[in-house]
Amino acid sequence: MPRFFKTLFFITFTSLTATFSQSFNSSFEEEIFKSYKRDSINYDFFKSMFAIDSLTNNNLVLKYQDRINTLLKTFPEKENKEKKEQKRIKFIYDEIHSAFFNKYKLDSYFNDLFEDGTYNCVTASALYAYAFDELQIPYHIKETPTHVFIIAYPETYKIYLETTVPGEYGFIVPKESEIIKVIDELISYKLITKEEVLKKGYMKFYEDLYYGHEFVNKNALVGMQYYNRGLSYLDIEDYDKAINNLRKSKIFFSSPLIKPIIKTIMFDKINELEFNSFEDIDYLLELIAIANYPEDYSLKNLESSLFKLVNHDDNTNEFIEASIEKFNTIKEDDVRNTALEFLYEYLAKQAGTDENLDDALKYSDKIINLNPNSKIAQKIIEYVCFKKIALSTLNKATLNELENNVDKYPFIKSNNRYHIALAHLYGNISLDSFGDKDIESAHLYLKKLEDLLDNNDITNEISKKLISNLYTKAGNYYYYKEQHKSAFSIYSKGLSYAPNDHELNKRAKWSKEEL
């Protein structure tokens, strides 16, 4: 039986040095693909079959189309009776075969049909599909692992058309005795087993094999040409052209055979990429899309590639951010989130190292959205929040920012630095308020400070200068109002936190003497 697939028994992939990318052989081909991607329903099938030929142009296609259309106009109209219609289909089949098919050749393409009459089952089936569409003859294109053929009137007459065989052997409306003979021959060639045939019965098995509900759309024939060409390039170890054609094949032809071949080539290539270009990123994304996770592509594999991406000297933060947008299109949640978290971690650490605190917080936010339990993100967020406090003027605006961050990142409160930062904020706000004679606010934040210091073991972490200045300022407010009891109480409270402070000891002594 003629084959449209080159049989791929075993391929050893070695020394892959080319960078794979989608390229087109001509502007004609590129426009065919663009047109099909825009509308895969209302595309020009006949024209698309020529896309694979780099020398074809629109004028040549129209010339060839006129040849087949001229022949189609000579065919009789549809017959109402079954036997007459079967006879008409056979006539059409024979006439097309006689007019266009000269020599069968496994490695041939649609343009060859019109140039020298060489054909294979893919190109022959494509010509019949076009003719039957024009003549409004219903048909199914049937695909087996090694062959393509057509069934005319699949729901009624079930006429089997072996497109690569002329004459009576290519046109079959089989009787039961002929069916048994065909099936027995398949068994003898070990293409099927006797057991599976007996399980269904000869007639049912034949029906399912040749006339079952499984069939391919005619656009698959366009892709099959690229598939065959891809395998031809594999035979001569031109992996760049092989994968380029296999990628094109995938657009028209959804065969499960394409994916493992592409995947095998790409796995060998991925380790050679530097990931300093968007082309390399797109290559990785294509591999991720076709790989089975985690059986043949694990998170460790992904992280290995990402490590090369972030450590390449040429890659700027802008390039990494643009790469993140690409990785965000990955459909597998675990893979996508791992990639994004890895890249955001790098950017967050870099921003933190460069003291770019707002960016460090922005990137850490992204990580927390992906992984709320990320220890790295939490540490960076804590660092940024407390660093911003240390660099601030320690006023009410800074306190409000800290309170907002605590609402957003509750884990901040578990860090001892939270209470230390809060104590310095309360102390400075109280000190400023005493200086502004805002006594109500001054006492409010002084009370907050004392509650913190009395209930948390952080006194030794608080600035002694702040304690001295605050309690001296607060005590002086009452001392100079001659409210010596209040002054002594405040000086004494300050000394409970800083017992060796000279100024507080001196003023506590003065206020006590005044009492």
CB 430 within 8 Å of CB 446: yes
- Going by C-alpha positions, the residue among 257, 316, 267 that lies closest to residue 287 is 267
Q: What is the dihedral of CA 407, 412, 416, 417, to 10 degrees?
A: -90
- CA dist 326 and 340 (Å) reads 10
| Sequence-separated contacts (24+) of 236-242 with Cβ below 8 Å | 237/14, 239/13, 239/16, 239/18, 239/20, 239/265, 239/269, 240/18, 240/19, 240/20
Strand partners, 139: 152
Distances (CA, A) of 359 to 272, 306, 347, 354: 32, 21, 8, 10
- Going by C-alpha positions, the residue among 46, 21, 3 that lies closest to residue 132 is 46
Instruction: Answer whether the bond into residue 410 is a cis peptide, omega within 30°.
Output: no
pTM (predicted TM-score): 0.64
- CA dist 293 and 336 (Å) reads 12
**pLDDT one digit per residue (tens) for the chain, 515 residues:** 333 444 333 333 333 333 445 789 999 999 999 999 999 999 999 999 999 999 999 999 999 999 999 999 999 999 999 999 999 999 999 999 999 999 999 889 999 999 999 999 999 999 999 999 999 999 999 887 678 889 899 888 888 887 765 444 444 455 677 678 778 877 876 768 889 889 988 877 876 766 555 788 999 999 999 999 999 998 888 888 998 999 999 999 988 788 888 888 888 788 889 999 999 999 899 889 888 888 888 888 899 999 999 999 999 999 999 999 999 999 999 999 999 999 999 999 999 999 999 999 999 999 999 999 999 999 999 999 999 999 999 999 999 999 999 999 999 999 999 999 999 999 999 999 999 999 999 999 999 999 999 999 999 999 999 999 999 999 999 999 999 999 999 999 999 999 999 999 999 999 998 87
Distances (CA, A) of 17 to 274, 285, 305: 12, 19, 17
pLDDT digits (tens, 9 = 90+) for 467-481: 999 999 999 999 999
- Going by C-alpha positions, the residue among 362, 341, 342, 335 that lies closest to residue 351 is 362
- CA dist 46 and 38 (Å) reads 17
